[in-house]
Structure formats: C-alpha cells, structure tokens
Structure 1
Amino acid sequence: MRTIRDNGLSIAFGILFVLALAGQSVAGYLENNEQLQQHGQPVIAFGAFVTSSEFVVDVAENWQSEFLQFFLFIAATIWFIQRGSPESKKPGDEGIGTDQEQLVGEHARPDSPEWARARGIRRTLFSNSLLIVMGTVFVLSWLAQSLAGTVVANSENAEHGMPPMSWVEYLGTPDFWNRTLQNWQSEFLAVGCMIALSIFLRQRGSSESKPVGAPHEESAVASE
C-alpha cells in the first residue's frame, strides 16, 4: 500500500493512459469497419486494425506533439523566465546553475544518484537525460507518424488510381503538415495558458500552483 501511495500520481496517469488508448483502439476499430462496410469492403479483425498504419498514424501524431511540447518547455525553462509563474524559475536564476546548486561532483550528497557523482560523459548524459529521452521519443514518434502516414496516403492514392508517393514526398504534402501542426498549436496553447494563468489563479493543494496567499509576482520557488 505504501508503494501505491508513494507512486500514486504515476500509477493514476498510467491507468488513464491505458484506458484512453484502449478506448481509442475500440472506437477507431468500429469506425474503420463502418467505413469499410459503407464502401462495400469486408471488415477486418481487431488485431489487424491495431497493427495497421491507420491506427499507428493516429496514435503517433498525438505522441510526437506531446513529447515535443515537454521537450521545448523543459529546454525553455533553462533560459527563459516568467515572473510570477510557478512553472518558472525566479528572475536572475536563468541558466544551467552551478555544480553546487545542482548537487553534482564534489557537491553531491550521500544519497545523490551515482551518476551525479560521476565525471565526464556519464555526468553530462545524466545532467541532460530528461531532454535526451523526451527528444528521442519525439523523434521516434514523428518518424512513426510520417512512415505510417505515407502508407495510409498511398493506400488512398491507390483507391483513386493515383501513383504512390515516397516518404520524402509525403513529408511535403499538406496532409502531413495539417496533421502535425493542428497538434502542435494545441500543445503550445495549453502550455502557454498554464504558464500565464498560474500567475494569477490558484489551486489549493496542487504542486503546479503557488500557495493561495502567495503574491502574484512571486514564483513558487520564491514563495517557499
């Protein structure tokens, strides 16, 4: 029970993710077979649908935009600040910080991660591991979206008697950029709203909010 309590946030969102993905797969499967029947084509099995390019492209295009959002946000918060937002460091704290502030090398504590005490490439990798992983998942998701999208587009082209496209050609199509940018703009809007609204609005008990009585111009760090 203690393990569940100590990891409740990760577990809760992991369950929500699985439920949402399962729901998407079922809804997408039913919609896909409905469209096949409308065109006089045989329906496909559920397993065939969730391994199809149609399903992969829909999942991947959402994943890549989410991980791009967090990659850019994490990188931006190193150097940019927003006075009063709990999502930002205090004015004057821009930058990567000193080894003492970051508790690395000789400044590491006894309970610090091993790689925080390491030297050279290991410390560099660990110091940037969050951005590295977020960026890698974004690139892989974007690649999966573009490759699956190429297959879907060529399938539609075949139905209309049009020649197939290469992957590079698909990357230059309006369909690819429409799918991509409609997700990017929504992610950037959500992050921007969270940064700005948290200056003036509060949610008692949430780590994403300043204390209710904290002045608007103070960040969460400043008010601690």
Structure 2
Amino acid sequence: MRLKQHTLSIFFGAIFVLALIGQSFAGLSVFNDEQVAHGASTIGWLDFVTSSDFVVDVAENWQSEYLQFFLFILATIWLVQRGSPESKKPGEEGVGSDAEQLVGAHARPDSPKWAKVGGFRTWLYSNSLLLTMGAIFVLSWLVQLLAGTTVYNADQALHGQPPFTVAEYLVNADFWNRTLQNWQSEFLAVGSMVAFSIVLRQRGSSESKPVGAPHDATAVEG
C-alpha cells in the first residue's frame, strides 16, 4: 500500500531514466555517424555520456524545464486566470496570511518543524520550492553554458576557426539560439495548459476541473 501511494513520482522517475538512457544511445549513434563522416574515430557509450556533447543537450532541456517551473510558481503567487484550475481564484492574489498558510502560531501539530519556528527558517521554508527550482535552473544553465562552449569550440577547431571564451560564447548567437528554442516551447506548454484547462476536461485528473464544473470556475480540482 505504501508503494501505491507514491506511484505518480515512481512512474515519472522510471520513464525519465528510460528516456535518458534512450537519448544516450541515440545520441551516441548520431555522434559516431558524424565522426565517421569527418574521418574521425568513433567513441564508446561511457565516453559519450561523459562528453560535453551529451551534457549540453541534457542541460539545455533541464534548464528550460526548471525555468518553466520557477516562473509558473512565481507567477501564480500574484497572477490569476479565471476559469483555470491552475490558478488561484481572483481576489486571492499574494502570499496569503499566516493563518491561511498555517505558519508560526497558526501551525498545526503535524505541520513541518520549520513552519512553526518563525524567523528566517520559516521564511526559507516558505519559499523553498521556488528557491530550489531557481537554483536547479541556474546550475543547469551554467552547465549548458560551459559544456556548450566546449562543443562550440570543437566545431570551431574543425573549421580552422579560433576558440571562444565562456564570456564570448555567452553573447554568441549559437548559445541563445539553443537556449531560446527551448524556452519558447516551455512557455507555450504552460500557457496552453492554463488556457485549455478553462474549457477542456479530463475526468479523474487533479489537473482538471470536474467534468460538469462551469467554465468560469477557478482553482477547482477534479
């Protein structure tokens, strides 16, 4: 029974690992095809998954996903969308009172310890989700930048061009082309989810309003 209570996170954890493994083998095949086309030697799987070519592709996806989460969490504190279960109800904008958030003197016996103690620890815990998403975004974005610089310089060397420093690559069109093509898709996905959930339904999903709920019902779970 305990396992059943965690099937959602287990499911997504499992398909994440499978997708990452699949990406590594597909990417290795593409990389080695390019190596052969350029008259260079092929490499093994372990060498590929520890290479900048693989790391930059993974980091690109991670940083855009966590930027999406960071901005959505931040935006939903202050912005609302009438009719969407992804939004708070109009008039409920803001961080909420201590009583609503069950912190400090309003904490329950089973509330997390840092919700009760007050001061900096309660503030930190109150913003821990946003801070964690932001930190993962920044770190993965930096990894993308560093690995991307290495990959770009390898291509530069292949064409007899001088290498770029990290700072030079940061303002290079190649870096921002790779970055923005991921960002725009994430922003589209979140915006579509918010908008579609106003009028569309999925029976049994917590991301949808009840099938019979009116279109203008907001912050209603199925």
TM-score (norm 2): 0.98
Contact 2:103 2:118 in 1 (8 A): no
Deviation at 1:34, TM superposition (A): 1.2
Contact 1:65 1:187 in 2 (8 A): yes
How far 1:37 sits from its partner (Å)?
1.1
Match of 2:26 in 1: 27
Give the aligned partner of residue 62 of structure 2: 63
Q: Which deviations, in whole Å up to 9, do the C-alpha atoms of 1:20-57 show, x marking residues without a partner? A: 00000010011111111111111111111000000000
Q: Partners in 2 of 1:149 and 1:220 — Cα distance?
A: 41
Partner of 1:150: 149
Paired residue secondary structure (2:3): helix
Query: Mind listing any 5+ residue stretches in structure 2 that lack a counterpart?
Result: none
Q: Distance in 1 between matches of 2:215 and 2:120?
A: 41
What amino acid maps onto 1:120 in structure 2? G
Task: Kindly indicate whether the alpha-carbon contact (under 8 Å) linking 1:83 and 1:217 is maintained by their aligned counterparts in 2.
Answer: yes
What is the match of residue 39 of structure 1?
38
2: CA distance, partners of 1:97 / 1:217? 23
Segments of 4+ in structure 1 off by > 4 A? Answer: none
Alignment of 1:5-24 (within 5 A): 5-24=4-23
Q: CA deviation at 1:77?
A: 0.2
What SS class does the counterpart of residue 208 from structure 2 fall into?
coil
Q: CA RMSD in A?
A: 1.0
Query: What secondary structure is seen at the aligned counterpart in 1 of 2:195?
Result: helix
Partner of 1:216: 215
1:99 aligns with 2:98: yes
Q: Deviations over 1:169-198 (max 9, x none)?
A: 001111100100000000000000000010
Percent identity over paired residues? 66
Residue ranges of structure 1 left out of the alignment (5+ in a row): none
Are 1:211 and 1:220, in contact at CA under 8 Å, matched by a contact in 2?
Answer: no
Partner of 1:87: 86
CA shift for structure 1 position 220: 3.2
Q: How is 1:124-203 mapped onto 2 (pairs within 5 angstroms)?
A: 124-203=123-202
